[in-house]
Copies of this chain bind each other. A is one copy, B any other.
């Protein structure tokens, strides 16, 4: 937890917040903070700054906050991710949000196991929890928007071409031969990452028809949880 994220409901005064539960326990037990200590604090989807602990009692922490700085700018990347297995999904989402992605589409593809769509990790509360922890790691305050697209074809035929119209669109596919192009880190981009095993030829055709250019990371085949930070690192 590199920043304490507070929400509207935590405010008991204009600049005073009271925290309980996980955040209070972390401040007391992990950070071992005491009254008078200064912590980095951010308001969910708002500004960040600092808070000074004014009281600690019964796993309840009161802070006087001063939030006057804008959060870091979003990464100019929208991520289109074929749904991976739940354990990998958590890690990939955490990486994407920590690195500043604010728009994530989780979509279906031929090699995605149908059962993955039943995972409790796709529930809005779980996605929010993973995102919040990633913001706390990143020192960021803005939650990403996460969209579930369980049907490949209408998503790629109807929605993606509109999204790709005014953005660079890169489709990561192992060993396509072409190296990775120089990326201008400020250009708004779409990045599509396939499932383990990759997209099938029909999907590759539809994605390229929708505006994606295929790129590869060279001769080695990366796992999804390695490929996503590797490509996002090009935008940092």
Interface residues of A (CB under 8 A from B): 2, 72, 91, 94-95, 98-100, 137-140, 180, 217-223, 225-234, 236
Residue from B2, B98, B221, B230 within 8 A of A233 (CB atoms):
B230
Residue from B72, B94, B140, B226 within 8 A of A95 (CB atoms):
B226
Total copies of the chain? 2
Known: A94-B226, A98-B226, A229-B229; 9 extra A-B contacts, CB below 8 A, are A72-B219, A72-B220, A98-B222, A138-B220, A139-B219, A180-B236, A226-B229, A227-B229, A233-B234
Take A226-B98, A226-B229, A229-B230 as given contacts and tell me if A236 and B221 are in contact as well, using a CB distance cutoff of 8 Å: no
- Tell whether, in the assembled complex, residue A217 and residue B230 are in contact, meaning their CB atoms are under 8 Å apart: no
- Tell whether, in the assembled complex, residue A217 and residue B229 are in contact, meaning their CB atoms are under 8 Å apart: no
- Tell whether, in the assembled complex, residue A2 and residue B99 are in contact, meaning their CB atoms are under 8 Å apart: no
Residue from B72, B91, B228, B230 within 8 A of A218 (CB atoms):
B72
Chain B residues within 8 Å of A230, by CB: 99, 229-230, 232-233, 236
Chain B residues within 8 Å of A99, by CB: 220, 222, 226, 230
Interchain CA distance A137-B226 in the complex, whole Å: 11
Interchain CA distance A90-B80 in the complex, whole Å: 27
Take A72-B218, A218-B72 as given contacts and tell me if A233 and B229 are in contact as well, using a CB distance cutoff of 8 Å: yes
Distance between A120 CB and nearest chain B CB, rounded to angstroms: 22
- Tell whether, in the assembled complex, residue A137 and residue B223 are in contact, meaning their CB atoms are under 8 Å apart: yes
Interchain CA distance A228-B223 in the complex, whole Å: 14
Chain B residues within 8 Å of A137, by CB: 221-223
Interchain CA distance A13-B140 in the complex, whole Å: 59
Chain B residues within 8 Å of A2, by CB: 221
Most chain B Cβ neighbours within 10 Å, of A2, A137, A225, A229: A229
